[in-house]
Amino acid sequence: MFDKLETLEERFELVTQKLSDPDIISDQEEFRKYCKENSDLTPIIEKYREYKTAKATIAECKEILSGGDKELEELAKMELSEAEETLEAVTGELKILLLPKDPNDDKNVIIEIRGGTGGEEAALFAADLFRMYTMYAESKQWRIEILSSNPTDIGGYKEITFSVAGQGAYSKFKFESGVHRVQRVPSTESQGRIQTSAATVAVLPEVEEVEVDINQNDLRIDVFRAGGPGGQCVNTTDSAVRITHIPTGIVVSCQDEKSQFKNKDKAMKILRSRIYEEMEAQRHSQIADERKSQIGSGDRSERIRTYNFPQSRVTDHRINLTLYKLEQILNGSLDELIDALITADQAAKMSGEEQN
């Protein structure tokens, strides 16, 4: 581990020099690449230097304690104890920082929410999840854009797809993929009986055109007239767009914009992310052992969380965490849940690294 850290520190110093090189500064692509590498290395090197300072302090204190200077012994003992605590904590943090980083973590995300079992109540729950994610994203000052939606007459969504743009959005949202279940008395239920409904969430990293090469000859693009809840016409022109990727069979429709061009642009954004997700799924199937060591594989059929209204509790089944903070969570206070999932994922990965 420490040989690797020494190599990274040498690389960090080289990258720092490159960032002040006029030739690099004048080449925006190169400059951006080195800025990104500098940003990735900085927290590791800062922590490593903290580790080296603690090691030096321990060595200095031990030297004082062996020197027989009674006046300095008490102070040296205190400093030694503090430095040893720091060293232990920093070593653990370095292990986490050196874990292989998900290459998608810094990306924006596309989130798809679909009402599942439960009819209209499931559609209303899908709207609750959309509101929850929107409020969480707003608390991070991330930008949200609805890409496609299929609303119901009473305020739910049969499905809604939206993007969240912000540094590290995927690293936070990636654990949300799966089946979310709600237990409550529906507003549509006159007998006051608790009903269980579900909605499915898929979280896709937003990808650039250069990351997924789509042959235009592989696309079938259809245009049609947009419709709204209940089937009423909301547009008198053929502005809605449906794109079919023939090799994979993936179909994406967008009709929220009045402009056919804007709908096509949004549909292509979703299509790229879905194709990328399929490519990633195939890649991960080849390294199944690694995938098992991760919390939340992104499997859309996996039941990950239950929101129980009568008991005001939220349970994440992957890490057996229950919080009696239903209202706060539905209002976007997701940090406690997400941080616990990240910690569990890191612990699982560290365990896998140690076994290897």
Show pLDDT as tens, one digit a residue, over the chain (356 residues).
Answer: 788 899 899 999 999 999 999 999 998 888 988 998 898 899 899 999 999 999 999 999 898 888 777 778 888 888 899 999 999 999 888 888 887 788 888 889 999 999 988 788 999 999 999 999 999 999 999 999 998 889 998 889 999 999 999 988 999 999 999 999 999 988 766 667 888 999 999 998 888 766 677 888 888 888 887 765 544 445 556 788 888 888 888 888 888 788 888 888 888 888 888 888 887 776 665 544 444 444 554 455 678 999 999 999 999 999 999 999 999 999 999 999 999 999 898 888 877 655 55
Burial (CB count within 10 angstroms: exposed 0-12, middle 13-18, buried 19+), residue 259: exposed
Closest by CA position to 237, among listed 220, 253, 259, 207: 259
pLDDT of residue 287: 43
Whole-angstrom CA distances from 277 to 231, 281, 291, 296 are 32, 6, 14, 15
pLDDT of residue 210: 60
CA-to-CA distance for 113 and 138, rounded, in angstroms?
18
CA-to-CA distance for 173 and 177, rounded, in angstroms?
8
Yes or no: domain 109-287+294-347 corresponds to CATH 3.30.70.1660: yes
Structure token digits, residue 158:
């049969």
Residue 231: other Cβ atoms inside 10 A: 6
3-state helix, strand, coil in the chain (%, to 5): 50, 20, 30
pLDDT of residue 291: 41
pLDDT of residue 298: 46
Yes or no: domain 2-97 corresponds to CATH 1.20.58: yes
- For the chain, the domains span 2-97, 109-287+294-347
pLDDT of residue 133: 97
